[in-house]
Amino acid sequence: MSPGRGRLLGAAVALALAVTASGGAAVAAGPPTGSGQVTRAALAECPPGPVWANTGGADPQLVQYGPDGDVLSSAPLARGYGDIAFSPDGSTLYGVNFPGADMTTLCTIDTVTGAETASVPVTGPLDDLRVSQGNSAVNGLTARADGMLIAGSSVSEQIFLIDPATGVSSLYPASFPASFPAGFVSAGDFPTLDDGDVLAFATPAGSAAGDPSAVFRIHPDNTVTQIGTVPQVFGGAPSGGSVYGFVSNGDIYRLTDVPTEASTALLPVTVVEATGNGFYGATAVQDAGECPEPSYAVEKSASSAGPVNAGDTLTYTVTVANTSTLTVNGDFTDDLAGVLDDGQVVPGSVTASTSGDLFAEKPLTVPGVPGLPAWKR
């Protein structure tokens, strides 16, 4: 019995099969193979994974995209966030309110329903912009490896940190604050690159819709270097060694070359998908410069420990559960040769059920048993 490969996200799948004992005794087969952790890779070797974006307007949405721009899931959002950001381990999705003169607020978001599950007011210098400028205008939010959130504003050249536990903001960092050059403000997002630099997107203050964005590297000594220019970015997220840009007109493009030398030249990009969505921000679990470790567990149970008599029916259930907070490629097989030589599959007994979100790339298959259902949410 082989379910092939499927991608699990916060989900479990149960596969049940009934076998009627014939001439001999049907006993439980051995455990499925393929259970356990998926090998962790360095960021440079991290496989492509989903990227998430939030849209604004009258119908704000949280949309999960595959590396080729295919929509994996979507959910309505409570509001149009200035940006969203995953925690380094992918367990928590944050969103920050935008725009308006209301108190700057950091929220946590359920990735399945899009509902806000908690919130904390943001205090300190980032919220001071709300008082001095009439709007904090936070439009960039990204986690770094220690769990702190890097934030940017469209009304300030300063770059900030937010403690997600307390909501307290500070300058990034307080000792020698990094900031965009005079005349530039945040355009959204601060992913950490494999070499330790932070990639930052900015735009000239007062620029118009559609104007290109400047790309900067923030170095470990907190100096800032412009390395190029790209089409307008409202959200950026790394996946599989590339950086994906999300444009206000709905385009998703891939930036594969992130140079190190100072330059204002236009960097080449490839449009992955023209979605038509009005993007406000984007994030991925690789934002913090790490390749989080996915894992899954495979368990099998039988309705009886055996032995059984001829004519009795056993039901075998295999459950595959995602034990991490990431999308997982599950790959396992279960050899029933030791059962089927003493029994036969009950026609129509093969069923599959899921809990949570499950994305199956290949149908479940049982040799000699056609018609096992496949699904893709």
Convert the pLDDT of each residue in 87-136 to its tens digit.
998 889 999 998 777 899 999 999 999 999 999 999 999 999 998 999 99
Task: Number of helices (H) and strands (E) in the chain: give both, helices first.
Answer: 2, 27
Give residue 250's identity as a one-letter amino acid code: G
Entry pTM: 0.74
What is the separation of C-alpha 97 from the centre of its chain, rounded to a whole number of angstroms? 20
Residue 368 forms part of a structural domain: no
Q: Say if residue 112 is in the same domain as residue 220.
A: yes
The closest alpha carbon to 154, from 168, 143, 140, 172, belongs to: 140
pLDDT band at 335 (very low <50, low <70, confident <90, very high): confident
Tell me what the mean pLDDT of segment 58-84 comes to.
95
pLDDT of residue 325: 56
Q: Say if residue 116 is in the same domain as residue 222.
A: yes
Structure tokens at 181: 């050059």
Residue 366 forms part of a structural domain: no
Convert the pLDDT of each residue in 130-184 to its tens digit.
989 999 999 999 999 999 999 999 999 999 999 999 999 999 987 788 899 999 9
Convert the pLDDT of each residue in 207-251 to its tens digit.
877 789 999 999 999 999 999 999 999 999 999 889 999 998 899
pLDDT of residue 141: 97
What CATH number is attached to the domain comprising 189? 2.120.10
Domain termination site, one of 241, 261, 283: 283
Burial class (CB in 10 A: 0-12, 13-18, 19+), 220: exposed
Q: Say if residue 98 is in the same domain as residue 199.
A: yes
Domain termination site, one of 233, 257, 283: 283
Residue 364 forms part of a structural domain: no
pLDDT band at 351 (very low <50, low <70, confident <90, very high): confident
Residue 377 forms part of a structural domain: no
Q: Say if residue 246 is in the same domain as residue 326.
A: no
Q: Say if residue 247 is in the same domain as residue 303.
A: no
Q: How many domains does the chain have?
A: 2
Q: What is the DSSP string of 73-125?
A: EEEE-SS-EEEEEE-TTSS-EEEEE-SSSSPPEEEEE-TTT--EEEEEE-BSH
Q: Say if residue 126 is in the same domain as residue 194.
A: yes
Q: Say if residue 350 is in the same domain as residue 271.
A: no
- % of residues, the chain, pLDDT over 90: 55
Partners of residue 171 on adjacent β-strands: 160
Q: What is the DSSP string of 324-359?
A: SSS-EEEE-B---HHHHTSEEEPTT--EEEEEEEEE
Distance from the first to the final alpha carbon of the chain:
23
pLDDT of residue 37: 45
pLDDT of residue 7: 45
Q: Say if residue 49 is in the same domain as residue 104.
A: yes
For the chain, the average pLDDT equals 82
pLDDT of residue 24: 52
Domain termination site, one of 283, 312, 339: 283
pLDDT band at 25 (very low <50, low <70, confident <90, very high): low
Residue 371 forms part of a structural domain: no
Residue 104 forms part of a structural domain: yes
Range of the domain at 171: 43-283
Residue 369 forms part of a structural domain: no
Q: Say if residue 266 is in the same domain as residue 135.
A: yes
Coil, strand, or helix at residue 211?
coil
Q: Say if residue 87 is in the same domain as residue 177.
A: yes
Give whole-number Cα distances, 352 to 74, 110, 320, 330, 334, in Å: 24, 26, 11, 15, 15
Q: Are 154 and 213 in contact (CB under 8 A)?
A: no
Residue 325 forms part of a structural domain: yes
pLDDT of residue 43: 58
Q: Say if residue 201 is in the same domain as residue 147.
A: yes
Q: Say if residue 27 is in the same domain as residue 49.
A: no
